[in-house]
Structure 1
Amino acid sequence: MTPAARLAAAIDVLDAILAGAPAERALTNWGRANRFAGSGDRAAVRDHVFDALRCRGSFAALGGALTGRGLMLGLCRAEDRAPEAFFTGAGHAPAALTDAERDHLCVARPAAEDLAARDWPDWLLPQIKEDLGSDFDAVSAQMQARAPVFLRVNVAKTTRRAAQAALAAEGIEAAAHPLAETALEVTAGARKIMKSRAYETGLVELQDAASQAMLALVPLSPGARVLDYCAGGGGKALALAAAAPQARITAHDIDAARMRDIAPRAKRAGARITLAQPGKVTGTFDLVLVDAPCSGSGTWRRAPEAKWALTPARLAELTALQGEILAQAARFVAPGGRLCYMTCSLLSVENAAPIAAFRGTGWQVTRALRLTPRDGGDGFFGAVLERDGTDRELALTSLG
């Protein structure tokens, strides 16, 4: 496929998404209907689509319309590529530019900070500006770009240096990242990871560096009883198992289907994790980890479709749920134990606010950490709480 044909394909996929189709389904449907497209073509179309979803507001402003065509015109303009070189109508290229489109493309482009602000939902913009403060412009610009690919080194099996060497032998370049001692940032060969021997033998796992940094907050002693209360796919449970092989880790999720990957991942990693059925947790634990359901706003570089799907009503539902889950999880904390609350959110209403409310029930914050993409990874928040003791102000730490 020519570059112009790839843009035309992305236009079709984006129009399907804007009409209500999930992004992955729209891409799959396009791929099945265009089996002639090679792997490079499919990857390029996918990149165009996700670039447009990340930058939907700014691309629409640059391209003149919130349509697949307008978004691809905006992409060309954002990347300083002449749209008339691709929108020619020749072969499989998009139709030639209209007079109205030519007129719009002659309009001076907005300032970079104005374009960045357009890539937040309008209703959320005042809140995210307040929450990010002086970091708003820098974080907004970073959220327009593709997220880095990070790996977590399984320290139960290897070292970071040895993992780098194993990956390099398979054409995957990875550099140590300062956010966490286990973090590697993939700089070349990312598409080879899932089929690499280093991955298949459990030397590395895909996990964001900020998520890994959050786990450094977690106090974990040998033999500790640990409950990952909202385990999902088990990424944090696996990381804790690697950091403390003697810990007794139980994974739980209200939806058992979300945990279906834990057993094969644990086997690959050489980890021992017990799975609890939904609502069937028994006993108490030295550490209860709550990676709470949230907006995912800190990960919107990776899942940009979710950014535009979030509504005020859904955010209100999530914040109520977060408080309920904290109360539920606290029942499983043993005397002298700790409760650790985390989200992959940038919003204070999901982070400091539920913790401040929970502190009124007899808990105190001993440690807290907030990360944004300025720190290198996704946006994350974490706080460690203990029962009883003098109430203290929530002190946030930033690594930026």
Structure 2
Amino acid sequence: MTPGARVQAAIEVLDRVLGSEASAERELLAWARGSRFAGSKDRAAVRDHVFDALRRLRSSAWVAGQGDVAPEAMAAPGVMAGLLAGRGLDPATLFTGEGYAPEPITLPKVAEPPRAVALDVPDWLLPRFSASLGDRTEAVLDAMRDRAPINLRVNLARADRYVVQAALAEAGVTAEEIPDFPTALRVAGAPRGLSRLAVFEDGICELQDAGAQGLVDRLPLLPGERVLDLCAGGGGKTLAMAGRGAGPLFVHDAAPERMRDLPVRAERAGVVVTPVEDPEAEAPFDGVVVDVPCSGSGSWRRTPEAKWRLTPERLSELIATQDAILARAARLVCPGGWIGYMTCSVLDEENGDLVEAACAAIGGLAVETTWSTAPDKGTDGFYLSVLRRG
């Protein structure tokens, strides 16, 4: 594919993402399946164009004269041209109308964008970010406009970081340790085929953001304690706990299909986890981990379309769900036991504010420790509160 054809393909995918509730990953997969002529470099380039446009959607649309247009009504060619112009490129070199390239487009002269547009965030969310992040607001939002790094989690039950670094180096992949994250490695660049390397297939390491690993690092895990991962999902944090020798470990999710790959991943990692349909029947537990459904605002670099689909009403629904899950966890943990409340959000109303209100409402819970990180620190955004039941 020519560079212009790649841009045109990205425009078509972006148009479908903006006009539906489908994820960017799903639409890119559908495009790739229907475009057998596209090689791996073509697919990577199209993917980068689409995700970069979604991360910088408002600022790119502003350059194209679509500053007041809702995301679902934006014209994808203009957004893509605005993205290229924002990178300092001349869209005319790619929007030629020749071959499979997009038709020529003329960008208007525009004024400086408002703050929310420049930071690529919905107007209604900017005050909430400011209330939560203070003078770090611009740094965090600006970091969300860029691509996330590739982080690995080393399975300490199988190897240490030095072994994994050496194995990766043999495959031509450079990975560096990340200070303050003892199981994490950061991969240089964006090498292809990582998951097909032996260290992945043998369960020695997995893809996982360093911030997510930091959550597990700070849980008061003790060997022999019964720990329930109440919102296990794909099981990334469950496996991280198992790699630290925690357990026995039990897993549950309100949507069990999310855990469908967990047994295979656990076997590959050489650990044992036990699914439970009815956690109340197995209670009490020494520890309960609740990685609650949330806005995902800390991980919008990876799922940028979610930033434009969140509404105040949806955020309120999520907060109510978080509150109910935390109350359930309090009923499942034994006296003297702990709860690890986690989100991948940087908003106080899903984090510290919610925990404070829950402690006041439930009674018998006390905050033992809190920790958070955000994209301006090089990780995704996460929050942890460890609560102790009296």
Structure 2 length-normalised TM: 0.93
CA–CA distance in structure 2, aligned partners of residues 56 and 320 of structure 1: 29
What percentage of aligned pairs have identical amino acids?
Answer: 48
| Mapping for residues 160-199 of structure 1, pairs under 5 Å | 160-188=161-189, 190-199=191-200
Q: 1:12, 1:68 within 8 Å by CA — same for their partners in 2?
A: yes
Q: Where does residue 391 of structure 1 map in the other structure?
A: none
Q: Which residue identity is paired with 1:323?
A: D
Q: Does 1:379 align with 2:381?
A: yes
Q: Where does residue 340 of structure 2 map in the other structure?
A: 340
CA–CA distance in structure 1, aligned partners of residues 280 and 359 of structure 2: 27
Q: Which residue identity is paired with 2:49?
A: H
SS at match of 2:171: coil
Deviation at 1:197, TM superposition (A): 0.4
1:364 corresponds, among 351, 362, 366, to 366
Q: Where does residue 288 of structure 2 map in the other structure?
A: 288
Q: 1:63, 1:77 within 8 Å by CA — same for their partners in 2?
A: no
CA–CA distance in structure 2, aligned partners of residues 387 and 286 of structure 1: 10
Q: Which residue identity is paired with 2:387?
A: L
Q: 2:333, 2:389 within 8 Å by CA — same for their partners in 1?
A: no
Q: Where does residue 311 of structure 1 map in the other structure?
A: 311
Deviation at 1:191, TM superposition (A): 2.2
| Mapping for residues 1-400 of structure 1, pairs under 5 Å | 1-20=1-20, 22=22, 23-65=24-66, 66-97=74-105, 101-102=106-107, 104=108, 106-107=109-110, 110=113, 115-117=117-119, 119-188=120-189, 190-244=191-245, 247-277=247-277, 281-360=281-360, 361-388=363-390
In structure 2, relative to structure 1, the CA distance for the partners of 1:156 and 1:60 (3 Å cut) is same
SS at match of 2:176: strand
Deviation at 1:110, TM superposition (A): 4.5
CA–CA distance in structure 1, aligned partners of residues 130 and 104 of structure 2: 39
Q: 1:297, 1:345 within 8 Å by CA — same for their partners in 2?
A: yes
The number of equivalent residue pairs is 380
Q: Which residue identity is paired with 1:178?
A: P
SS at match of 2:306: helix
Deviation per residue, 1:158-217 (Å, 9 max, x gap): 011111111111222211111410000111453221101000001101111001111122
Q: Which structure 1 segments of 5+ residues have no match?
A: 389-400
Q: 1:7, 1:93 within 8 Å by CA — same for their partners in 2?
A: yes
Q: 2:155, 2:204 within 8 Å by CA — same for their partners in 1?
A: yes
Backbone CA RMSD of aligned residues: 1.6
Q: 1:143, 1:301 within 8 Å by CA — same for their partners in 2?
A: yes
Deviation at 1:8, TM superposition (A): 1.0
CA–CA distance in structure 1, aligned partners of residues 281 and 79 of structure 2: 48
Q: Which residue identity is paired with 1:358?
A: A
Deviation per residue, 1:313-332 (Å, 9 max, x gap): 11111100111001111111
Q: 2:249, 2:273 within 8 Å by CA — same for their partners in 1?
A: yes
Q: 1:226, 1:285 within 8 Å by CA — same for their partners in 2?
A: yes
Deviation per residue, 1:6-55 (Å, 9 max, x gap): 11111111112222151233323322332211111111101100111111
Q: 2:285, 2:334 within 8 Å by CA — same for their partners in 1?
A: yes
Q: 1:233, 1:260 within 8 Å by CA — same for their partners in 2?
A: yes
SS at match of 2:25: helix
Q: Which structure 2 segments of 5+ residues have no match?
A: 67-73
Q: Which residue identity is paired with 2:373?
A: L
CA–CA distance in structure 2, aligned partners of residues 283 and 110 of structure 1: 54
Of 150-159 and 8-17, the range deviating more from structure 2: 8-17
SS at match of 1:224: strand
CA–CA distance in structure 2, aligned partners of residues 46 and 62 of structure 1: 21
Q: 2:342, 2:382 within 8 Å by CA — same for their partners in 1?
A: yes
In structure 2, relative to structure 1, the CA distance for the partners of 1:180 and 1:262 (3 Å cut) is same
SS at match of 2:223: coil
CA–CA distance in structure 2, aligned partners of residues 108 and 121 of structure 1: 19
Deviation at 1:63, TM superposition (A): 2.4
CA–CA distance in structure 2, aligned partners of residues 339 and 131 of structure 1: 23
Deviation at 1:149, TM superposition (A): 0.9
In structure 2, relative to structure 1, the CA distance for the partners of 1:215 and 1:80 (3 Å cut) is same
Structure 1 length-normalised TM: 0.91
Q: 2:94, 2:102 within 8 Å by CA — same for their partners in 1?
A: yes
Q: 1:368, 1:384 within 8 Å by CA — same for their partners in 2?
A: yes
CA–CA distance in structure 2, aligned partners of residues 255 and 280 of structure 1: 17
CA–CA distance in structure 2, aligned partners of residues 7 and 209 of structure 1: 32
Deviation at 1:377, TM superposition (A): 0.6
SS at match of 1:346: coil
CA–CA distance in structure 2, aligned partners of residues 330 and 73 of structure 1: 51
Deviation at 1:304, TM superposition (A): 0.7
SS at match of 1:223: strand
CA–CA distance in structure 2, aligned partners of residues 189 and 301 of structure 1: 15
Q: 2:116, 2:122 within 8 Å by CA — same for their partners in 1?
A: no
